[in-house]
Amino acid sequence: LWVQDRLPLATLKDHGTNLQTVQQFIKKNQNLRREIQVHRPRVDEVLERAGAVASIKSPEAEGVRRLLEKLRTTWTELQDQAERRQQVLDATYQLEQYYFDVAEVESWLGEQELLLMSEEKGKDEQSTLQLLKKHLLMEQTVENYEETIAQLSRQCRALLELGHPQSEQVSRRQSQVDRLYVSLKDLVEERKAKLEQQYWLYQLNREVDELEHWIAEKEVVAGSPELGQDFEHVTLLQEKFLEFASETGSVGQERIAAVNQMVDELIDYGHADAATIAEWKDGVNEAWADLLELMETRAQMLAASHELHKFFNDCKEVLGQIEEKRQRLPELAAREGRTSAGALQRALGVFEHDVEVLVTQVRQLQEGAAQLRTLYAGDNAEAIAGREQEVLRAWKELLAACEECRLHVASVADKIRFVGTVRDLLAWMDGVLCQIGAGEKPRDVSSVELLMNDHQGLKNEMEARGKSISTCLELGKTLILGKSPAADEIKTHVEKLIAKKKEMMEKWDKHWEWLQQ
């Protein structure tokens, strides 16, 4: 009765429809198996006793033998059915556990898929970076979940190896999970790519904005209308601008190259906003080209201003040198009474050589003015012409003053030479006058002849000096006719020289006549 009471539990065909009911059936079957184990000694003892009774050859023992067979049969059936049911329940449990795990995995994959379908990309670079960091954590979680998928795959293989009736359905379910996981990983990569592209886009936008702002700041400097008030000012401006242009060109070229490289890489990568990125690239490169052109224009304007103010400065310097030379002329003329004619002329030669040096500078100024007139019009052209004419006027005045000074120095030198020659001749004549008749009176013919020879020697000397006297007198007459400032003095010297010559000649003739007598 006990075995028959338990047999329906062992032969129950319901194995459960979900994991919970299967677990309940397994628990009940395990309880049944424990009960069978507990009753085993009792059943074995009854079977043993029944066997002993059945061995008696008696009509009454026939009923015991029939009961013995029935008990042995039902007992064996109970044990076999309980074991078989346990095996079936275990297989069912594995299947339901697999389905349960599959459902959880599919649910998790579905949740992650919903999260990955978010279109949020961040409002700025910082928020996008936060989203990207969060996504990277999620990517790692998805990567780590691969072990769960692998475990599920091992469960599937175990069921297939058991030859479970639902093997085909299990295999399809596993394939579906594998596809979902691969699809999820693709979504992860796609979402990551979108966030990275958005982050790069914000980065590029920031770089482009900063570069455009930097270019705008440099354009303010490069577009300055200040061209200098004078030569020193424009030279300072030019030096500062050259330094600015060099630094700006170097830094700007580096930054524009970096932005262009970033843009090209994003376009080559296949960025979704390639068209917008290309527009940004064109805009910033156009702004950079405009800045370079503006700096080139500014450099040319400063160079032209530098040339103009250099011309004005050179004019000022040349005018100063001309004025300095003109101030030296009175000093040169004032040396008349303090130096010899040769020294005076040498001083004049040195002065004229200094003036000759200015010829090159004046010619260069004329050439510079001619070039500048082709570049400027209006007030600047008038200023250039005015400065040129001022220099040329001062130069002509200096040349005229030099010529006047040269004539004056020549006249003064002639006067100095004339006065010196007159002085020398007068001294010579005085010497000759002293020699005429200075000897002892002769006492005989031979002594007279000696005196006559000596006197004739003076005559020869006087004739030899006659050319010098004539030349000196001619110089004096020339100076007088040339209206020399010292004409009266020269005239006096001429008269004195003529009178002294006449006196000398008359005294010689008179003494000669006396000697002849």
We report the CATH number of the domain holding residue 397 as: 1.20.58.60
Do residues 28 and 89 both lie within one domain? yes
Residues 143 and 96 grouped into a single domain? no
pLDDT digit string, tens, across residues 57-67: 767 777 888 88
pTM higher than 0.75, yes or no? no
- Kindly state the average pLDDT of the residues 239-263: 91
Instruction: Provide the number of structural domains found in the chain.
Output: 4
pLDDT at position 337 is 47
pLDDT recorded at residue 408: 65
Contacts 24+ apart (CB under 8 A), 356-360: 358/318, 358/321, 358/322, 358/325, 358/395, 358/398
Single residue among 90, 112, 134 that ends a domain in this structure: 112
CA distances from 258 to 125, 198, 211, 468 (A): 19, 19, 11, 96
Do 93 and 17 share a structural domain? yes
**Among candidate residues 206, 239, 269, the one where a domain is terminated:** 206
Task: Report the alpha-carbon distance of residue 288 to residue 25 in Å, rounded.
Answer: 81
In a domain, 242, yes or no: no
pLDDT for residue 341 is more than 80: no
End of a domain among 77, 93, 112?
Answer: 112
Residue 309 lies in a domain: no
Contacts 24+ apart (CB under 8 A), 17-22: 18/96, 18/100, 19/93, 19/96, 19/97, 19/99, 19/100, 22/89, 22/92, 22/93, 22/96
Question: Which pLDDT belongs to residue 258?
Answer: 92
Share of the chain above pLDDT 70, in %: 91
CB atoms within 10 A of CB 363: 10
Q: Is residue 163 part of a domain?
A: yes
- pLDDT (0 to 100) of residue 338: 47
Verify that 90 and 129 share a domain, yes or no. no
CB-side exposure of 425: number of CA atoms within 13 Å?
28
In a domain, 442, yes or no: yes
Residues 123 and 198 in one domain: yes
How many C-beta atoms surround the C-beta of residue 290 within 10 A?
13
Would the pLDDT of 399 be above 80? no
Candidates 259, 372, 264; CA nearest to 314 is 372
CB neighbour list of residue 392: distance below 8 Å, 6 or more residues apart: 362, 366
DSSP state of 58: S
Clarify whether residues 90 and 128 are in a common domain.
Answer: no
Residues 108 and 124 in one domain: no
CA distance 310 to 371: 13
Question: CA–CA distance from 218 to each of 221, 286, 291, 423 (Å)?
Answer: 5, 14, 8, 83
Question: What is the tens place of the pLDDT at every residue in 305-335?
Answer: 888 888 778 888 888 887 877 777 666 555 5
The mean pLDDT of 209-235, rounded to a whole number, is 88
Q: What is the pLDDT of residue 60?
A: 74
* Under 8 Å between Cβ of 257 and 263: no
Percent of the chain with pLDDT over 90: 11
- Flag whether pLDDT at 137 surpasses 50: yes
Cα 116 versus chain centre, distance: 45
**pLDDT bucket at 155, cuts 50 / 70 / 90:** confident
Looking at residue 380, its pLDDT comes to 75
Cβ neighbors of 460 (< 8 A, separation 6 or more) are: none
Asked if residue 217 belongs to a domain, the reply is: no
**Residue 91: both structure tokens together:** 């297989």
Per-residue pLDDT tens digits for 461-486: 888 888 888 888 888 888 778 766 67
DSSP H or E stretch at residue 378: none
Please name which of 256, 146, 132, 253 lies closest in space to residue 194, comparing C-alpha atoms: 132
pLDDT at residue 132, as a whole number: 85
**Mean pLDDT of the 98-102 span:** 83
Largest CA distance in the chain: 238
Question: Is 99 in the same domain as 122?
Answer: no
pLDDT band at 441 (very low <50, low <70, confident <90, very high): confident
pLDDT (tens digit per residue) in 32-60 = 788 888 888 988 888 888 888 777 776 77
496 and 443 part of one domain: yes
User: Same domain, yes or no, for 382 and 473?
Assistant: no
Region 445-449: mean pLDDT is: 87
Rounded Cα distance between 342 and 348, Å, is 10
Range of the domain at 372: 314-410
Residues 65 and 129 in one domain: no
Please indicate, yes or no, if residue 281 is contained in any of the structural domains.
no
Overall average pLDDT of the 190-209 stretch: 87
Stretch 157-166: mean pLDDT, rounded?
Answer: 78
Position 259 in a domain:
no
Residue 245 lies in a domain: no
Same domain (yes/no): 106, 34: yes
Establish how many alpha carbons lie within 13 A of residue 19's alpha carbon, considering only the half-sphere containing its beta carbon.
Answer: 11
